Homo-oligomer: A and B are copies of this chain.
Amino acid sequence: MNVVELSGGVGGARLARGLAGIPGVNLTAIVNVGDDSVTQGLHISPDLDTVIYTLAGEEGPHGWGRAGDTFRTNDELARFGIDNRFKLGDLDLALKVFRTAELAAGTTLSEITLTVAKSFGLHAVVLPATDDELRTFVRLEDGWVSFKEYFVERGHRDDVKEIRFEGSADAEPAPGVIQSIEESDLVVIGPSNPPLSIWPILAVPSIREAIAHHPRVAAVSPLIGGATIKGPADRVLRSLGLGSGTNSVANSYGRLIDCLYVDESDVIDLPDVNVIGTDTMIQTRESAIRLAQELIAK
């Protein structure tokens, strides 16, 4: 069975681990690159790395970086007066250095990502939504800022009034993205932040179109009891005027989805979407596999 997941970071990565853990499922994860940045001169793809590290069972304890990492280089950067709050672990840094050097040599982000996934022994295919530069900007009370400034530097405390995805109109999907959607039996939108992590994927016109034409698209809500466990999804949905709770998640995807998996406490009736209550807490691999099995069984 061919399954495509659209994924942001932590939540989407955990569901990917569940889907990849089911024998007979061929998973392609199509991952948000709107949060990519150049930090300390290194090309950072936070969501791609979180998906790969999580699939490999090597993810860090806080939703970024690698398990058991150390911060020798990152700590030393302070000597040169560098803002090193964006913590780059020593093991993690190897991937960043490799990717930056390969990009400089003309290799595409999707080619690099396939190499990295293979080097971690993954069977799942992991693809950036696009090899083109597509960057998320958010409008706060005091104007437009980059995703990184909003999320890392300001700690996602501000209200997000508006979002735009620079470069999206002309962005081509990475090689393999459209084919994987067309050949999939099921498209899952992972429990990531809908506006900040999934919209930038859907902002690539031909990806949105392929998803819109797909007969079976299921989304998993990132909300539990109307709120997020971590991250600002609930507040972002509200401040963008999409409402609250299950309604806001459904609104964020409109007619693209056929059904929406939510926590038992978040079940409501909606006219156009089949809302299904289940256990959407997927911190462990086992719970993620359980949810994934439910998704593919329907």
Chain A residues near B (Cβ < 8 Å): 40-42, 70, 72-74, 76-77, 79-82, 90-91, 93-95, 97-98, 100-102, 104-105, 115-116, 119-120
Contact = CB atoms under 8 A, between A and B. Distances in A.
Given A73-B73, A76-B94, A93-B93, 13 more contacts: A40-B97, A40-B98, A70-B70, A72-B72, A72-B91, A73-B93, A73-B94, A74-B94, A77-B98, A79-B94, A81-B115, A82-B98, A90-B90
Given A70-B72, A72-B70, A90-B90, A42 B97 contact: yes
B93 A80 contact: no
A176 to B, nearest CB: 20
A105 B40 CA distance: 10
Of residues A97, A100, A101, A102, which shows the largest number of chain B Cβ atoms within 10 Å of its Cβ?
A97
A72 B90 contact: yes
A73 B91 contact: yes
A41 B97 contact: yes
Contacts of A41: 97, 100-102, 104-105
Contacts of A102: 41
Contact of A76 (B74, B90, B101, B104): B90
A94 B88 CA distance: 11
A97 B38 CA distance: 12
Give the one of A73, A91, A100, A101 with max B CB within 10 A: A73
A161 to B, nearest CB: 30
Nearest to A105: B41
Which are the 9 A-B pairs with shortest beta-carbon distances? A41-B101, A76-B94, A72-B90, A80-B98, A73-B93, A77-B94, A73-B94, A41-B100, A73-B90
13 contacts: A40-B98, A41-B100, A41-B104, A41-B105, A73-B93, A73-B97, A74-B94, A76-B94, A79-B94, A80-B95, A80-B98, A80-B116, A81-B119
